[in-house]
Amino acid sequence: MIAPVFAAAAAFNLVCSIAFTSGDLSKSLAPGATSPIPSKRVYHIDLDAGRYCTEPCASTNALYAVSPKQIVFKAEERGDLDDTLEVVDRETGELLDRLRMFPMVLMYTGKCEAGPFTGLPAPKF
């Protein structure tokens, strides 16, 4: 008999190493400034509650969408080359946090790893 496959944890932290890049879309996506020092971002995620926060976790936000392939934190399209997208690939751990406001683009890209869940802020009432 084959052992059952256990579902992924419903609450966890994602610890992401990220780098920042900016560029000018009107110049064929020519890159602009790139952060010389990678930084870290930590997401606290509760899939069952459909909520997340980023450290220091003063407040939570609703998850935009969750699938077996992706966790989408934000997705807003305002027009051609004007959007916001923040998503992590659940299979590769790749993170993309992009803000496009023609002609500029600001991006954080990185790699995330799951860690122990350290909680969401408690509601005040």
Residue 98 backbone phi and psi in degrees, to 5: -125, 135
2 is a domain residue: no
Instruction: Specify the number of domains making up the chain.
Output: 1
In whole angstroms, give the CA distance from residue 71 to residue 62: 11
Ordered alpha helix ranges (H), 1-118: none
In the numeric block, which tokens belong to residue 100? 């496009």
The pTM of the full predicted model, rounded to 2 decimals, is 0.83
Write 24-29 long-range contacts (CB < 8 A, 24+). 24/103, 24/104, 24/105, 25/81, 25/100, 25/102, 25/103, 25/104, 25/105, 26/102, 26/103, 27/103, 29/105
124 is a domain residue: no
Among residues 94, 103, 92, the alpha carbon closest in space to that of 30 is found at 103
What pLDDT, in 10s, does the model give residues 9-19?
799 999 999 99
Domain of residue 61, residue span: 11-115
What pLDDT, in 10s, does the model give residues 35-88?
556 799 999 999 999 999 999 999 999 999 999 999 999 999 988 889 999 999
The CATH number assigned to the domain holding 73 equals 2.40.128
